[in-house]
Amino acid sequence: MKKNLLGLSHEELVEFVLELGEKPFRASQLEKWIYKKLESDFSAMTDLGAGFRTALEEKAQIGNMEIVKEKSGRGGLTRKYLFSLPGGDYIESVLMRFFDPEEGDRLTLCLSTQVGCAMSCAFCASGMNGLSRNLSSAEMVEQAWHISRRLAGDERIGNIVFMGIGEPFANYNETLAACRIFQDPARFGIGARHITISTCGIVPGIKRLAGENLQVRLAVSLHTANEKLRKELMPVSRSFPLDELLEACKYYQEKTGRRITFEYILIREVNDNAADARELGRAISGMNAMVNLIPLNPVDEFAGKRSPLTRIKIFKEALDEFGVKSVIRKERGLNIDAACGQLRKTHKSPDEMGDAGTGLNEIN
Ligand code: SAH
């Protein structure tokens, strides 16, 4: 079997070139080709000796996955990619273009960390069929690598958010290893402050992250500050109740001094009442936090409805009274099944790959 070089650490890459009888500096050259020039073809790596290139073609490969479907959202601000993995699994990533008044156009990539998800949140398409397996750090990095190759000119991914399929803290070590690869200046060189890990509330993961020497940002999918409702919507709350979750968030803040983002999807008349906002306000007032208010992205299996903007604005005003900062996030990709796991779920068999054309025609 050929060795997949994508996702190997620098040390592993050095070991591999030594095995092929080459000097260690060849590993740095390879790294540059793979991560800076995004090259996949060894024969194009012209500063490597001909013998070495032939050996690489025989013994190595760059990447294991393939993009089998792409869909763009209106205006091209969102693009969703479906990947096939060896063994027949599928995962997805979403690229979003945001305009930041300070930093200009920024490309944010939303990555998957698992094939499926075991968390069973009631409103989420990713967990509908349970968990198949964890992704390796290499597979997380490969999502970014393939998508980077498709970007125009000098465009680069500026932010990574671990908010695709899966629960990052149920796959902690691989997620953290991926963060380090993204950060590495010889690789993607994305500053840790531009990397966000989002969790449904796995308390030990939050505490562990607090102790890492890594400046990545933390987002917590809260969705309600009502314990009874949270247990219904998010079964993870049965293992890690709300008070323990909020304690862990406070501990994280004390240790790191960093702001936490709370994700709050608004489901009409379920968690979007003024009383819900007050409960949230009381629970997190005084914390250095930002609440992202996100209208529910409807999924077939969940009866909940999106909150209208008028209700979301009232909710936001109620939070203001507790001094809790919030933003109403413009949702993206409603028309391209960009709610987590939707594309993968509708893509049942490889026979449907022909769909890729249809999906694109729809929007172009
Ligand atoms: N497991 C992690 C990361 C993946 S989910 C987490 O729970 O944070 C990424 C975000 O999408 C979470 O905030 C999740 O609650 C949200 N999400 C899931 N289904 C959604 C839907 N139908 N509409 C809007 N947001 C959704």
Same domain (yes/no): 101, 165: yes
Same domain (yes/no): 138, 55: no
Same domain (yes/no): 57, 71: no
- Give the span between the Cα atoms of 214 and 144, in whole angstroms: 20
Estimate the share of the chain in helix, then strand, then coil, as percent rounded to the nearest 5. Answer: 40, 20, 35
pLDDT reported for residue 305: 95
* 305: its two tokens: 């409805």
114, 120, 124, 196, best to mutate for ligand 1 pocket (most atoms within 8 Å of CB): 124
Ligand 1 pocket check for 237: Cβ under 6 Å: no
pLDDT reported for residue 348: 40
Is there a contact between 237 and 201 (Cβ–Cβ < 8 Å)? yes
Domain boundary, last residue among 61, 79, 96: 61
Question: Which protein residue's CA is at the shortest distance from atom 19 of ligand 1?
Answer: 124
Same domain (yes/no): 155, 230: yes
Same domain (yes/no): 73, 34: no
Query: CATH no. for residue 26?
Result: 1.10.150.530
* 114: its two tokens: 């698992």
- Which of the residues 31, 70, 92, 263 is marked catalytic? 92
Same domain (yes/no): 39, 158: no
Same domain (yes/no): 36, 93: no
**pLDDT tens, N- to C-terminus, the chain (364 residues):** 899 999 888 999 999 999 999 999 999 999 999 999 999 999 999 999 999 999 999 999 999 999 999 998 767 788 999 999 999 999 999 999 877 676 677 899 999 999 999 999 999 988 888 999 999 999 999 999 999 999 988 899 999 999 999 999 999 999 999 999 999 999 999 999 999 999 999 999 999 999 999 999 999 999 999 999 999 999 999 999 999 999 999 999 999 999 999 999 999 999 999 999 999 999 999 999 999 999 998 888 899 999 999 999 999 999 999 999 999 986 555 554 555 455 555 554 333 332 222 222 222 2
> Which residues in 85-124 belong to E strands, given as ranges?
90-100, 104-110, 114-116
Q: Is 92 a catalytic residue?
A: yes
Same domain (yes/no): 44, 73: no
pLDDT reported for residue 1: 87
- Give the span between the Cα atoms of 29 and 359, in whole angstroms: 39
Closest atom, ligand 1, to C-alpha of 220:
8
Ligand 1 pocket check for 296: Cβ under 6 Å: yes
Count of domains forming the chain: 2
202, 340, 344, 345, best to mutate for ligand 1 pocket (most atoms within 8 Å of CB): 340
- Give the span between the Cα atoms of 359 and 364, in whole angstroms: 9
Same domain (yes/no): 259, 337: yes
pLDDT reported for residue 361: 23
Is there a contact between 92 and 84 (Cβ–Cβ < 8 Å)? no
In single-letter form, the type of residue at position 1 comes to M
Ligand 1 pocket check for 163: Cβ under 6 Å: yes
pLDDT reported for residue 343: 52
Beta bridge partners of 326: 291
Closest atom, ligand 1, to C-alpha of 223:
15
Domain boundary, last residue among 61, 90, 106: 61
Same domain (yes/no): 188, 271: yes
Ligand 1 pocket check for 337: Cβ under 6 Å: no
- Give the span between the Cα atoms of 276 and 221, in whole angstroms: 15
pLDDT reported for residue 250: 97
- Give the span between the Cα atoms of 231 and 218, in whole angstroms: 22
pLDDT reported for residue 7: 80
Same domain (yes/no): 190, 274: yes
Q: How far is the CA of 51 from the CAs of 29, 33, 57, 247, in angstroms?
A: 15, 17, 10, 58
Same domain (yes/no): 55, 91: no
- Give the span between the Cα atoms of 144 and 86, in whole angstroms: 17
Could you tell me the sign of the dihedral formed by the alpha carbons of 269, 271, 274, 276, in that order?
A: positive
Query: CATH no. for residue 326?
Result: 3.20.20.70
Q: How many CB atoms lie within 10 A of CB 327?
A: 12
pLDDT reported for residue 353: 30
- Give the span between the Cα atoms of 268 and 233, in whole angstroms: 14
Q: Which domain holds residue 13?
A: 3-61
